[in-house]
Amino acid sequence: MPDIIQLLPDSVANQIAAGEVIQRPASVVKELVENAIDAGATEIKVHIKDAGRTLIQIIDNGCGMSVTDARMAFERHATSKIRSVNDIFAIRTMGFRGEALASIAAIADVEMRTKQHDEEVGTFIHISGSKVIAQEPVSCANGTNFMIKNLFFNVPARRKFLKPNTTELKHIISEMQRVALANPGISFSLYNNQTPIYELPASNKRLRIVAIFGKSINPSLIPVDTATSLVKVSGFIGQPKQARKTFGEQFFFVNNRYMKHPFFHKAVMQAYEKILPPDTIPSYFIYFDVDPAEIDVNIHPTKTEIKFENEAAIWQILQASVREALGKFNIVPSIDFDQAGSVEIPMPLKDFADVKIPEIKVDPTYNPFVQKTPGRNYSPVNHASRPSVDRNLEHWQKLYDDTANSNPVSQASFFPEPVQSEPASREDSFAGKNFIQFKNKYILTPVKSGLMVIDQKRAHERILFERFMQVLDNQEIASQQQLFPETFDLNASDATLLVSILDDLKALGFDIREFGHNTFIINGTPGMLSAGSPREIIESLLEEFKNSSGDLKERAREKVAVSLAKASAINYGQLLKPDEISELIDSLFACQTPNFSPTGKKVLSIMPLDDFERMLK
Ligand code: ADP
Ligand code: MG
121-139 burial, b for 16+ CB within 10 Å, e for fewer? ebbbbbbbbbeeeeeeeee
Own/partner pairs for 7-12, CB < 8 Å, 24+ apart? 10/76, 10/130, 11/106, 11/129, 11/130, 11/131
Q: Which atom of ligand 1 is nearest to the CA of 62?
A: 24
pLDDT of residue 333: 44
Q: pLDDT tens digit string along 1-43?
A: 788 887 777 777 777 777 778 889 999 999 999 999 999 999 9
Q: How many A from CA of 99 to the centre of ligand 1?
A: 9
Q: How many A from CA of 37 to the centre of ligand 1?
A: 10
pTM, two decimals, is 0.57
Is the C-beta atom of 79 inside 6 A of ligand 1?
Answer: yes
Least confident interval from 195-209, 427-441, 584-598 = 427-441
Query: Measured between alpha carbons, how far is 318 from 103 in angstroms, rounded to an integer?
Result: 37
Q: How many A from CA of 286 to the centre of ligand 1?
A: 27
What residue owns the CA closest to ligand 1's atom 23?
36
Q: pLDDT tens digit string along 239-265?
A: 988 888 777 789 999 999 999 999 999
Average pLDDT, the chain: 78
Which whole number is the average pLDDT over 518-527? 82
What residue owns the CA closest to ligand 1's atom 14?
79
Residues 264/318, Cβ–Cβ less than 8 Å: yes
Chain centroid, CA 237 distance in Å:
7
Is the C-beta atom of 567 inside 6 A of ligand 1?
Answer: no
Determine what percent of the chain is predicted with pLDDT higher than 70: 78
Mutation choice for ligand 1 from 20, 35, 130, CB with most ligand atoms inside 8 A: 35
User: DSSP strand E in 33-151: where?
Assistant: 43-49, 55-60, 109-115, 122-128, 131-138, 143-149
Tally Cβ neighbours within 10 Å of residue 221. Answer: 23
Query: Is pLDDT of 356 > 70?
Result: no
Is the C-beta atom of 65 inside 6 A of ligand 1?
Answer: yes
Helix (H, G, I), strand (E, B) or coil at 406: coil
Q: pLDDT tens digit string along 451-490?
A: 889 999 999 999 988 888 887 777 666 666 666 778 888 8
Q: pLDDT tens digit string along 72-121?
A: 999 887 788 777 777 777 777 887 778 899 999 999 999 999 999 999 99
pLDDT of residue 486: 81
Q: How many A from CA of 80 to the centre of ligand 1?
A: 7
Query: Is pLDDT of 143 > 80?
Result: yes
Q: How many A from CA of 310 to the centre of ligand 2?
A: 27
Pairing of β 109-115 and β 55-60: unpaired
Domains of the chain as residue ranges with CATH: 10-200 (3.30.565.10), 209-328 (3.30.230.10), 445-605 (3.30.1370.100)
pLDDT of residue 358: 36
Query: Is pLDDT of 367 > 70?
Result: no
Is the C-beta atom of 78 inside 6 A of ligand 1?
Answer: yes
The secondary structure of the chain in percent helix, strand, coil, rounded to multiples of 5, reads 35, 20, 40
Q: Which ligand is nearest to the CA of 80?
A: 1
Query: Is pLDDT of 64 > 90?
Result: yes
Is the C-beta atom of 98 inside 6 A of ligand 1?
Answer: yes
Least confident interval from 1-10, 178-187, 203-212 = 1-10
Q: Which amino acid is at 318?
A: L
What residue owns the CA closest to ligand 1's atom 13?
79
